[in-house]
């Protein structure tokens, strides 16, 4: 007993020195926004997908890759609905690390990596040549690839939306944000390495005239990233519905057959 008391006091002292223990800074529940793709019959809003692509391309792609999305997906059913020509033009606008040239070289005389314009079969190129470069460009923090982010995080698209719109919430006065990080209560630990200026109002100019508020941009890019994580969602849901209708009809036929067969058996 004589030993336990000082230990308990010490533990109490240690706990009180860090005002915010891990459970205090657990990420906040995601914001309650609604998306067109929710529910068993929800589909992607095409216009939102196209606007979200624009936000990804013009804002997020400076830091985040989209390694698992190929340009041909932009033209496929259930996607943003770009024409093949548009998807080709988008692909050609990117520089892809080239295959070795005739002389087997990957770099030019200045040591710069040779590139070629993208084609439909290519995936979005990563903004950084490797992880070290990505970290070096972001204060040691790694901007994760966004292809699967809505699948990888609880809350999915709502999580992405909450992060993007969560930078300007009131910080508890006694919470210290570490050097090089930014306050964001929707991120685990409340301090994120993504700059709070990464997305601002009017970061893009929408060609369809939609007003580019930060909420609108965040909602659009979250829709786009949901699609990136599950490009075949619409096909999956419509297949599910067909199977359901088939089973209902089959049950009806089987029940009618059962009645007919057993009609005289009493
Ligand atoms: C200037 C670079 C930069 C830009 C621009 C940027 N981000 Fe980030 N982002 C980061 C970094 C760095 C991290 C990692 C933060 C960390 O680990 O603390 C991050 C983290 C994230 C996370 C949290 C990931 C996780 O692990 O849970 C999401 C979601 C995200 N970014 C989405 C976006 C979206 C969407 C855009 C475009 C609107 C965007 N970011 C623009 C640098 C950037």
Determine how many CB atoms are found less than 10 A away from the CB of residue 155.
Answer: 16
Query: What's the rounded mean pLDDT across residues 67-75?
Result: 96
Residue 194 Cα, ligand 1 centroid: separation in angstroms?
Answer: 5
Q: For a pLDDT cut of 90, what percent of the chain falls above it?
A: 83
Rounded to the nearest angstrom, the gap between the alpha carbon of residue 190 and the centroid of all alpha carbons in its chain is 19
What gap in Å lies between CA 86 and CA 46, rounded to an integer? Answer: 15
* Structure confidence by residue, pLDDT tens digits, 199-221: 999 999 999 999 999 999 999 99
Q: How far apart, in Å, are the Cα atoms of 204 and each of 61, 71, 90, 172?
A: 13, 21, 17, 32
What gap in Å lies between CA 121 and CA 265, rounded to an integer? Answer: 64
> Cβ contacts of residue 19 below 8 Å, gap of 6+?
174, 175
Residue 34 Cα, ligand 1 centroid: separation in angstroms?
Answer: 22
Give the pLDDT confidence score for residue 162 in this predicted structure: 98
What gap in Å lies between CA 192 and CA 186, rounded to an integer? Answer: 9
Give the pLDDT confidence score for residue 25 in this predicted structure: 86
Structure tokens at 100: 């070795």
| Residue 64 pLDDT greater than 70, yes or no | yes
Query: What's the rounded mean pLDDT across residues 84-98?
Result: 95
What gap in Å lies between CA 49 and CA 234, rounded to an integer? Answer: 13
Mean pLDDT is lowest, of 8-12, 80-84, 141-145, for 8-12
Q: CB of 46 closer than 6 A to ligand 1?
A: no
Query: What's the rounded mean pLDDT across residues 14-43?
Result: 81
What gap in Å lies between CA 171 and CA 184, rounded to an integer? Answer: 8
* Structure confidence by residue, pLDDT tens digits, 175-207: 999 998 999 999 999 999 999 999 999 999 999
Query: What's the rounded mean pLDDT across residues 213-230?
Result: 98
Side-chain-side CA neighbours of residue 157 (13 Å): 24
Give the pLDDT confidence score for residue 234 in this predicted structure: 94
| Residue 3 pLDDT greater than 80, yes or no | no
Query: What's the rounded mean pLDDT across residues 101-127?
Result: 93
Best probe residue, ligand 1, of 133, 142, 143, 162 (max atoms within 8 Å of C-beta): 143
């Amino acid at each position: 007993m004589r030993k336990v008391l000082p230990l308990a006091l010490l533990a109490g002292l240690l706990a009180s020195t860090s005002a915010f223990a891990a459970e205090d800074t657990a990420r906040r529940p995601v914001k309650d926004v609604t998306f067109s793709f929710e529910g068993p019959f929800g589909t992607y809003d095409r216009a939102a997908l196209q606007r979200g692509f624009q936000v990804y391309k013009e804002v997020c792609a400076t830091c985040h890759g989209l390694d698992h999305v190929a340009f041909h997906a932009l033209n496929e059913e259930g996607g943003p609905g770009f024409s093949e020509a548009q998807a080709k033009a988008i692909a050609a606008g990117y520089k892809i690390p080239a295959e070795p040239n005739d002389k087997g070289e990957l770099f030019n005389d200045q040591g710069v990596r040779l590139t070629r314009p993208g084609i439909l079969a290519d995936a979005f190129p990563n903004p950084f040549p490797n992880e070290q470069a990505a970290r070096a460009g972001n204060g040691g923090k790694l901007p994760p690839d966004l292809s699967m982010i809505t699948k990888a995080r609880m809350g999915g698209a709502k999580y992405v939306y909450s992060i993007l719109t969560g930078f300007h919430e009131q910080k508890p006065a006694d919470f210290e944000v570490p050097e090089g990080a930014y306050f964001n209560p929707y991120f685990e630990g409340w301090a994120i390495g993504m700059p709070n200026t990464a997305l601002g109002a009017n970061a893009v100019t929408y060609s369809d005239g939609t007003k580019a508020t930060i909420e609108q941009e965040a909602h659009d890019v979250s829709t786009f990233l949901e699609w990136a994580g599950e490009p075949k969602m619409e096909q999956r849901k419509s297949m599910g519905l067909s199977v359901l209708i088939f089973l209902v009809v089959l049950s009806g036929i089987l029940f009618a057959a059962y009645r007919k067969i057993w009609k005289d058996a009493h």
